């Protein structure tokens, strides 16, 4: 079989959080038709116990620890240059560069898949640009837009820091997209947004949407309830040191829950389910009816036995796996407009979409009162029909086998981005 280099900024297993879910399904799919060499970084040493799974699927695996966050931050600062984004330097690893360069020098690869723009510098040199290599970059999201949103909501000095990152990262994203044969994003909306910002990359762009493993997220899975008592449960799942998640649960716990717990009927309980809860998330457990689980072995029981799931994200890029997974388990979902973007579902029939305190309270109360009896079943059907991995990953195959852009072997020009 042909040989492919797969680079990921994090170990792509287990598929238990957004970036790992997408990376694993791409890797697993490509391994059906390629001999895959996996190179990745490991930010949690505990993840190294999953190496046997990856070694069984890949021809060769090179997983290198990044050290703790302080070490990664120091590395990013040391590599920071005028006009360069900090977030790309965060994922620089000299050992991984050496391993990649050795494989390229040996002419080992006919294909390269780079998962996350931060990994693009590993293969943007001349050795990776020979005509016989098909190079595909999965940006996933327009990450520079996330930093732009952070800056718009921040005060000095962080406003200037985030604004600089947004400018420099957009410049880098544009240069990277021009350096690859095909660049992917997670949804049509993300793709269109990036083309608005970088019209010169349009011929190279496509999108591969996130899917759900419907057999794993089985609504009839017989999960044992993790909850005690009979109070209706509202669940939020996600990695809880991620800023958009922190903001979402803080807002819901402080602004929405007090109103939901007023009035007749059992007072609902809000469960925040996910690893690495930041201090401000842990503090929410002191509020009436709010629970912070920390890491759990499996989020499925928490979703399956919740009355509904919520995704009140204000800042959201791409497609939210937390929404897809709850819908796949047949749970009603109340989501913000930002969290709903890119999902193939009909608001009001398959999912409830609303923003602001009053609208969110109204929609959650309607679900708790049983006013949407078919919402969960409709949600599962919508995800089954619109987000099947087998269907979405056919576009990944096309990225490697389709026609090559006319200028794909030329050096990408530096792109100037307005301040």
How high is the mean pLDDT of the chain? 93
pLDDT for the residue numbered 73: 59
* Cα(110)–Cα(405) distance, integer angstroms: 16
pLDDT for the residue numbered 75: 59
* Cα(225)–Cα(218) distance, integer angstroms: 15
pLDDT for the residue numbered 417: 36
Residue % of the chain over a pLDDT of 90 = 84
Q: What is the mean pLDDT of residues 263-275?
A: 93
pLDDT for the residue numbered 18: 82
DSSP state of 122: G
The model's confidence at residue 409, banded by pLDDT at 50, 70 and 90, is very low
Q: What is the mean pLDDT of residues 369-385?
A: 98
pLDDT for the residue numbered 263: 76
Residue 41 has phi, psi (to 5 degrees) of -105, 150
153 or 61: which leads in pLDDT: 61
Distances (CA, A) of 389 to 130, 332, 392: 31, 22, 5
The model's confidence at residue 399, banded by pLDDT at 50, 70 and 90, is very high
Q: Of 263, 365, 249, 322, nearest to 18 (Cα)?
A: 322
For helices 375-386 and 321-328, angle between their N-to-C axes, nearest 10 degrees: 120
Q: What is the mean pLDDT of residues 358-387?
A: 98
* Cα(296)–Cα(51) distance, integer angstroms: 21
pLDDT one-digit tens code per residue, 133-190: 999 999 999 999 999 999 998 999 999 999 999 999 999 999 999 999 999 999 999 9
Q: Rounded to 5 degrees, what angle do the CA atoms 328, 330, 354 make?
A: 90
All domains of the chain in start order, with CATH: 2-208+393-401 (3.40.50.2000), 233-388 (3.40.50.2000)
* Cα(209)–Cα(140) distance, integer angstroms: 9
* Cα(155)–Cα(209) distance, integer angstroms: 34
pLDDT for the residue numbered 410: 40
78 or 247: which leads in pLDDT: 247
pLDDT for the residue numbered 69: 66
Decide if pLDDT at 89 tops 80: yes
* Cα(262)–Cα(258) distance, integer angstroms: 7
The model's confidence at residue 372, banded by pLDDT at 50, 70 and 90, is very high
pLDDT for the residue numbered 418: 33
The model's confidence at residue 119, banded by pLDDT at 50, 70 and 90, is very high
CB 334 within 8 A of CB 308: yes
* 206: Cβ contacts below 8 Å, ≥ 6 apart: 182, 183, 184, 185, 191, 395, 398, 399
pLDDT for the residue numbered 83: 79
pLDDT for the residue numbered 221: 84
CB 1 within 8 A of CB 34: yes
Q: What is the mean pLDDT of residues 104-122?
A: 97
CB 138 within 8 A of CB 163: no
Q: What is the mean pLDDT of residues 291-302?
A: 97
* 279: Cβ contacts below 8 Å, ≥ 6 apart: none
Quickly list DSSP for 289-303.
Answer: TEEEEES-S-SHHHH
């Amino acid at each position: 079989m042909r040989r492919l280099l797969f680079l990921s900024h994090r170990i792509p297993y287990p598929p238990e959080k957004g970036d790992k879910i997408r990376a694993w399904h791409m890797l697993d799919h490509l391994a059906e038709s390629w001999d895959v060499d996996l190179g990745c970084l490991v930010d949690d040493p505990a993840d190294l116990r999953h190496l046997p799974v990856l070694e069984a699927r890949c021809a060769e695996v090179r997983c290198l620890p990044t050290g703790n966050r302080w070490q990664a931050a120091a590395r990013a600062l040391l590599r920071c240059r005028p006009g360069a984004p900090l977030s790309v330097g965060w994922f620089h690893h000299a050992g991984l560069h050496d391993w990649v360069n050795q494989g390229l020098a040996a002419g080992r690869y006919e294909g390269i898949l780079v998962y996350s723009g931060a990994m693009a510098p590993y293969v943007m040199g001349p050795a990776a640009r020979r005509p016989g290599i098909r190079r595909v970059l999965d940006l996933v999201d327009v990450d520079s837009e996330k930093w732009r949103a952070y800056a718009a909501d921040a005060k000095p000095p962080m406003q200037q820091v985030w604004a600089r990152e947004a400018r420099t990262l957009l410049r880098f994203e544009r240069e990277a997209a021009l350096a690859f044969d095909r660049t992917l994003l997670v949804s049509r909306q993300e793709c269109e947004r990036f083309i608005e910002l970088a019209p010169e990359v349009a011929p190279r762009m496509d999108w591969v949407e996130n899917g759900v493993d419907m057999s794993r997220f089985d609504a009839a899975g017989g999960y044992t309830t993790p909850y005690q008592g009979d109070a209706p449960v509202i669940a939020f799942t996600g990695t809880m040191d991620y800023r958009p998640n922190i903001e979402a649960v803080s807002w819901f716990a402080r602004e929405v829950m007090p109103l939901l717990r007023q009035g007749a009927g059992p007072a609902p309980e809000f469960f925040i389910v996910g690893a690495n809860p930041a201090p401000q998330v842990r503090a929410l457990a002191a509020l009436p009816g709010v629970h912070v689980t920390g890491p759990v072995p499996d989020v499925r029981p928490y979703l399956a036995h919740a009355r509904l799931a919520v995704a009140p994200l204000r800042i959201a890029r791409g497609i939210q796996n937390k929404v897809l997974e709850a819908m796949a388990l047949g749970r009603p979902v109340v989501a913000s407009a930002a969290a709903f973007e890119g999902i193939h579902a009909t608001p009001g029939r398959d999912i409830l979409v609303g923003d602001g305190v009053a609208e969110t309270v109204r929609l959650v109360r309607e679900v708790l009162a049983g006013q949407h009896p078919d919402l969960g079943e409709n949600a599962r059907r919508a995800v089954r029909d619109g987000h099947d991995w087998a269907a979405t990953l056919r576009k990944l195959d096309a990225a490697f086998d389709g026609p090559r852009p006319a200028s794909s072997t030329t050096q990408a020009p530096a792109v100037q981005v307005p301040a």
